[in-house]
Amino acid sequence: MTHVSRTTPDPTAITALLGHDTMWRRVESVESTGSTNADLAALARLGEPEGHVLVAAEQTAGRGRLDRSWVSPKGASLSLSMLLRPHHEFPRWGWLSLLTGMAVAAALRDIAPDPSRVQLKWPNDVLIDGGKVCGILSERIEHPSGARAVVGLGLNLDLGRDDLPVPSATSLSLEGFPVDREHIVAGVLGQMERYYSRWQTSGSLSAEYEAGCSSVGSNLTITVAPDIVVRGRGHGVNEFGRLQVATATGIETFAVGDVVHARMHH
Ligand code: BT5
């Protein structure tokens, strides 16, 4: 048996919190791995069904979008990946990152001292007072029996000010949020099941996403390539989860990009 440290979430406690009536058939927890998304992708390639969850207390090769890296230091972060099998056509899979953000935000609002401090930034960030506390990465894995999605999220739990990988990051403990690992994992998974099943049924969660996303209604820039930066005002998200931006020349729609919100003055 492998040694399980205090900071490794206890899968038995998580399963107990989730109860019997859950889509999460299997919750595994490890102290350390390269990337929980890579691990679940390997299982997805073997045809593993929907509902498998892998949690890690540390990643040594955490991945962001576009070959960027995600810093998941030992004992201070949570890495969680979920294996899904959406029945929507591929263009709608853009929603996976968005609805995962909605689920994380809902779970954080449940434990927040002040729920209004939790916001979404399109497409894949959960913010507390503008600082990035969670990043999400969704990947498609082909299989003859039907493509799978591996959706991973990295949550900064109790990183101190000096541990933050970038100035734009923050952590739950720095923001005064309680850090109970099992409760957080069960809360995220419970909310994820709600949002995912609603999306599987309806195909779009635009109105609710727009209400919780600070990119909508903000002045922003979106970088789509190093030399392509578009300026405008967040207008909404469409049925494919793409961001609509009102620019000087009309509404433009983006499937990918890095958004920076203009500084807000209080
Ligand atoms: C993301 O990419 O935000 C997606 C992160 C997904 C991580 C999860 S953890 C479980 C699963 N397994 C994996 O291997 N990955 C997923 P992106 O939007 O490209 O943001 C990456 C950028 O965020 C980096 O280039 C840094 O600037 C910054 N960053 C890195 N680590 C961070 C952290 N811990 N907190 C905040 N920002 C971070």
The pLDDT, as a whole number, for residue 266 is 41
Q: What is the DSSP secondary structure assignment for residue 35, as one 8-state letter? A: -
3 state SS of 226 = coil
DSSP state of 259: E
Confidence label for 7 from pLDDT (cuts 50, 70 and 90): confident
Q: Give percent of the chain above pLDDT 90.
A: 92
Measured in angstroms, how far is the CA atom of residue 154 from the centroid of ligand 1? Answer: 7
Alpha carbon of 240 to ligand 1 centroid (Å)? 23
Output the six-digit token pair for 98. 């968005």
Task: Examine residue 123 and say whether the peptide bond preceding it is cis (omega within 30 degrees of 0).
Answer: yes
Alpha-carbon gap, residue 168 to 173, rounded angstroms: 15
Are 57 and 80 in contact, with CB atoms under 8 Å apart? no
Residue 263 has pLDDT above 80, yes or no: no
Between the two ends of the chain, the Cα-to-Cα distance in Å is 53
The residues near 97 (Cβ < 8 Å, ≥ 6 apart) are: 123, 124, 136, 137, 138, 151, 241
Give the pLDDT confidence score for residue 2 in this predicted structure. Answer: 52
Looking from the CA of residue 66, the nearest atom of ligand 1 is: 19
Interval 242-264 mean pLDDT: 93
Q: What is the pLDDT of residue 264?
A: 56
Residue 3 has pLDDT above 90, yes or no: no
Ligand 1 mutation target, pool 43, 59, 70, most atoms within 8 A of CB: 70
pLDDT band at 5 (very low <50, low <70, confident <90, very high): low
Which atom, in ligand 1's list, is nearest to the CA of 73? Answer: 34
What's the whole-number mean pLDDT along residues 5-16? 90
**11 pocket-lining for ligand 1 (C-beta < 6 Å):** no
More confident residue, 167 or 3: 167
Average pLDDT over residues 35-55: 98
At 265 the pLDDT is: 47
117: three-class secondary structure by DSSP: helix
User: Does the reported pTM lie above 0.85?
Assistant: yes
What does the alpha-carbon distance between residue 143 and residue 26 come to, in Å, rounded to a whole number?
A: 20
Does 71 contact ligand 1 (Cβ within 6 A)?
yes
Distances (CA, A) of 158 to 11, 45, 58, 91, 189: 20, 34, 13, 36, 20
The alpha helices in the chain, defined as continuous H runs, are 11-18, 36-45, 95-111, 181-202, 206-212
**Residue with CA at minimum distance from ligand 1 atom 29:** 70
Q: Average pLDDT for residues 19-47, to the nearest whole number?
A: 97
Q: What pLDDT sits at residue 259?
A: 96
Closest CA to 240 of 115, 18, 90: 90
- The pLDDT, as a whole number, for residue 215 is 96
CA of 24: how far to CAs of 46, 55, 120, 200, in Å?
18, 13, 24, 16
